[in-house]
Structure 1
Amino acid sequence: MRAIRNNIFKTMIIVLSSLTVLGVVALILVTNLGGTEEASGERSIDDIRESSYLTDDITTDLQSGDYVRIRFRIVTDSKNSLEELEKRDFQVQNILIKELATMESDAFQTGLSGLEETLKLKLNEFMTEGKVTDVYTVDKVLQ
């Protein structure tokens, strides 16, 4: 009789321990993966704005001799990435000046998507904390 009670008690302890472990695992999964934004890969516009950097106006000459004034919004994947990018503002300007110096005015007018992609790729080479996800041209003037 005593042996049966011990076996029932041991079985009850094992079942309760297993349920507790499963509950803790489920709680961790729900809190870390529970957001619908994260599950679908979509970020809210507020999150995007909070992790994006607006460059200063950059004025430089093109290879064709025309002058351009341009400004970008650079979106990063996190606030830590944004902080790093803000510290690298001089590298952003350097990349832009070098890329624009090789462009003709016709290529500049039609090739902004290529310039945005080049800027994104080159910045990601420098980044150590996160990455640049998007680059948008928000202002441009060609003279």
Structure 2
Amino acid sequence: MKNKLLTILLIILVAVTLVGVASVAAIAYFKNDHAKVDKEPSIDEIIKTSVNVPEITTNLANGDFIRMTLTIQTDSKKAKIELGKRDFQVKNLLITELSELKSDMLRSKVGKEQFQERMKTKLNEIMKEGKVEQVYITSSILQ
């Protein structure tokens, strides 16, 4: 009699544990699924949180020069406002980063992507209200 009761209690305990684990797994799965949807902003949201950097012309390390415009996507409207106020710092970072590069580097896709990533990192170092999500090169003339 005691053995039977112990077996039944053990089966009930295992069943309750399995239901609990399945519930936690289901909640975690659906929570992560919604988080991925929330992290991908629509194009309208991207535009609302982006700053256009006016065309800048500067020398490169090998004596060539470049004319470039950027669009910088931030993670919030507060970050966009802050970045707009920091326009002189953005231009300074842009000029100093470009002055270290040679034209060969900016002719390749990989070189442009590295430049964009470096600008993103440098800009995030100066940001206080939010962060830079992406740096886009919207025009580039290399001579």
TM-score range, shorter chain: 0.7 to 0.9
> 1:1-143 counterparts in 2 under 5 A?
39-110=37-108, 111-143=111-143
Percent identity reads 45
**Partner deviation per Cα, 1:40-94 (whole Å, 9 max, x = no partner):** 4211100000100010101001011111000111000000000000000111111
Q: Which runs of 5+ in 1 are unaligned?
A: 1-32
Tell whether the 8 Å contact from 1:74 to 1:135 is kept in structure 2 after alignment.
yes
What is the deviation of 1:38? 7.2
- The Cα RMSD (Å) is 1.6
Q: Which runs of 5+ in 2 are unaligned?
A: 1-30
* Residue 11 of structure 1: aligned partner: none
**Partner deviation per Cα, 1:95-132 (whole Å, 9 max, x = no partner):** 11111111111012121111110110011011100000
What SS does the aligned partner of 1:96 have? helix
Matched residues, number? 109
Code of the residue aligned with 1:92 in structure 2: it is V
- Structure 1 segments, 4+ long, off by >6 Å, are none
State the alpha-carbon separation in 1 of the partners of residues 141 and 102 from structure 2.
Answer: 14
What SS does the aligned partner of 1:103 have? coil
State the alpha-carbon separation in 1 of the partners of residues 79 and 39 from structure 2.
Answer: 18
Q: What TM-score does the superposition give when structure 1 sets the normalisation length?
A: 0.72
State the alpha-carbon separation in 1 of the partners of residues 116 and 88 from structure 2.
Answer: 17
